[in-house]
Amino acid sequence: MKKVILMLAFVLPVLFISLHVEAQTADEIIGKYITAIGGKDKWTQVKSLKLNGYIEVQGIKINFTQQAILNVGVRVDAEFQGQKIIDITTPTKGWSQNPFGGRSSLQPISEEELKQKLDELDIQDEFIDYAAKGSTVEFLGKDEEDGNEFYKIKMTTKNSNESVYFFDVNTSLIYKEEKTVKQQGQEMKMVTKLFDYKTIPFGIKIPHKSEQMGQMLITEKFEINPVIDENIFKGN
């Protein structure tokens, strides 16, 4: 018994030290990232936003507009071949219209779909005050891709959504996000790569290009804190 106690006396402090170092490493990486994108003070002033841009896929260009109010609603509008595509998310309900996906009119989305989208309502960066928002992080070590080194951090949000983020060792910016999502009852791995970070007049740095599943999303205009009518988030 004494031998076991002595072993525990040695192992437990080492365990706690390891956990502390891991948490500290994650927070140091996150802290550098927040500084790189403009700082916490700037991001916490973001209460609404409007984006305009387009999606490029197989040589086709699809214009879109995204409007959002912090923790109130997010709405995306696009049009392709004369057909309207609409996506709306609120804290309690969501709606979708996509004739190319079998939804010719605005229809409620499932609880599972809504759960996966709820984190989008936090239009301030997900790493700003992440613990206060109910999220946890885990440092997963380093990785390499295309000759570059990245720190990997796994985030689990209060909605139980998990993502692994790749932070560039040199710039401290996020290069890639990996997560598993459910679509039509099937699980699939979704990878999003972020490019072309630029500082906009508001003083925050945002990626202007992202790539996902062979599609390139280009944002041409950012408006921070525009006046947005909350009625656009109603699905009826």
pLDDT tier for residue 24 given thresholds of 50, 70 and 90: low
pTM of the model: 0.85
Closest by CA to 228, choosing from 113, 74, 101, is 74
pLDDT of residue 5: 33
Query: Six-digit token pair at 65?
Result: 């507009």
Expressed as residue numbers, the domain containing 187 is 2-233
Per-residue pLDDT tens digits for 74-120: 999 998 888 899 999 999 999 999 887 777 788 999 998 899 899 99
pLDDT of residue 14: 40
Per-residue pLDDT tens digits for 123-167: 999 999 999 999 999 999 999 988 889 999 999 999 999 999 999
Indicate the number of domains in the chain. 1
- Average pLDDT in the 61-82 region? 93
Query: Six-digit token pair at 24?
Result: 């500290």
pLDDT tier for residue 236 given thresholds of 50, 70 and 90: low
Residue 100's alpha-carbon distances to 79, 80, 82, 188, 235, in angstroms, are 11, 9, 12, 19, 19
Query: Six-digit token pair at 205?
Result: 């740095």
Q: Are 140 and 153 in contact (CB under 8 A)?
A: yes
Question: Which stretches of 90-147 are assigned E, i.e. beta strand?
Answer: 94-98, 103-108, 136-145
Per-residue pLDDT tens digits for 178-215: 998 776 667 788 899 999 999 999 999 999 999 998 89
Q: What's the one-letter identity of residue 74?
A: V
pLDDT tier for residue 25 given thresholds of 50, 70 and 90: confident
pLDDT of residue 4: 35
pLDDT of residue 219: 95
- Average pLDDT in the 68-77 region? 96
CATH classification at residue 54? 2.50.20.10
